[in-house]
A and B are shown apart, each in its own frame.
Chain A
Amino acid sequence: MMPSPDLPSGISVAANLMEVRRLAEHLRMACADKAIDELTTFDCELALVEAANNVVEHGYQGRPEGELTLIVQIAGSTIRMELLDRGTPVPDGQFLRCETVPPDATHGRGTGIIQSCMDGIEYTSENGLNRLVMTKRLP
């Protein structure tokens, strides 16, 4: 039986900044497979990279044993990315907050970028497992 083309695909990587590139590559391949346009793919890749960088730098704080898992599902008119980790969770409401960043700031744009790129963001942390679900409607 042929696998359903809408089935989610996943990848797990070590929590370091170089490995975040593998998550991005996995996402790009999933988008290419579905002929998703370049800008939609970039928005999703950017949101994913910002979220994953945040986990590596703040969630695991450079601890080498950390792991990140990405599950991508492109079905119907939606791209859904689920990012799982077991690092320190982000503070409550972090992804809903609207923060103004000064133009000359060199840090602190990640959350705002994720909000700009995605249509839906849900974050939960239960039993040590953090789950960030980001969704984007296809144009």
Chain B
Amino acid sequence: MVGESEILEVVIDHPRLDAAAAPALRQELAGRFEDRPERVILDLSNVEFIDSTGLGVLVSMLKQMGTNGRIVIVGASPAVQRLLHITRLDSLFIQCDSISAAHDALA
């Protein structure tokens, strides 16, 4: 159970967040987001590639968190940053260089 004041940290282990990986990712995250956390740090350091389907999973998680939900992405590769920029979702997901900076951003 994630309390209101807690920050959920999630490490994504899929090197490719693509349409092939999306069903498994969706299932994994659904379990982690069951308690509707309001603040989440998403560590994408291991993600080398992401497409619109993978991004769609992250957007759906953010929606699941409700209107107060905030996700901070840590460790975004140039590929992840590029897709966030192209889709203009860099305004929806805060990006930080480190876990500690992410905690500060969510404080």
A residues with a Cβ closer than 8 A to B are: 17-18, 20-21, 24, 38-39, 42-43, 45-46, 49-50, 53, 56-57, 101, 103-107, 109-110, 112-113, 116-117
CB distance from A57 to the nearest CB of B (A): 7
The distance in angstroms between the C-alpha atoms of A122 and B55, with both chains bound, is 26
Question: Quick check: B60 and A42 within 8 Å, CB to CB?
Answer: no
The distance in angstroms between the C-alpha atoms of A43 and B56, with both chains bound, is 18
CB distance from B78 to the nearest CB of A (A): 6
Q: How many A-B residue pairs have CB under 8 A?
A: 70
Contacts of B20 in A (CB 8 A): 17-18, 20-21
CB distance from A41 to the nearest CB of B (A): 9
Question: Quick check: B51 and A50 within 8 Å, CB to CB?
Answer: yes
Question: Quick check: B92 and A103 within 8 Å, CB to CB?
Answer: yes
Question: Quick check: B19 and A117 within 8 Å, CB to CB?
Answer: no
- Indicate if B86 sits at the interface (CB-CB under 8 A): yes
Question: Quick check: A42 and B78 within 8 Å, CB to CB?
Answer: yes
Interface string of B89-106 (1 = CB under 8 A from A): 101100000000000000
The distance in angstroms between the C-alpha atoms of A24 and B79, with both chains bound, is 14
Quick one: given A39-B82, A53-B53, are A21 and B16 in contact (CB under 8 Å)? yes
CB distance from B67 to the nearest CB of A (A): 11
Question: Quick check: B78 and A109 within 8 Å, CB to CB?
Answer: no
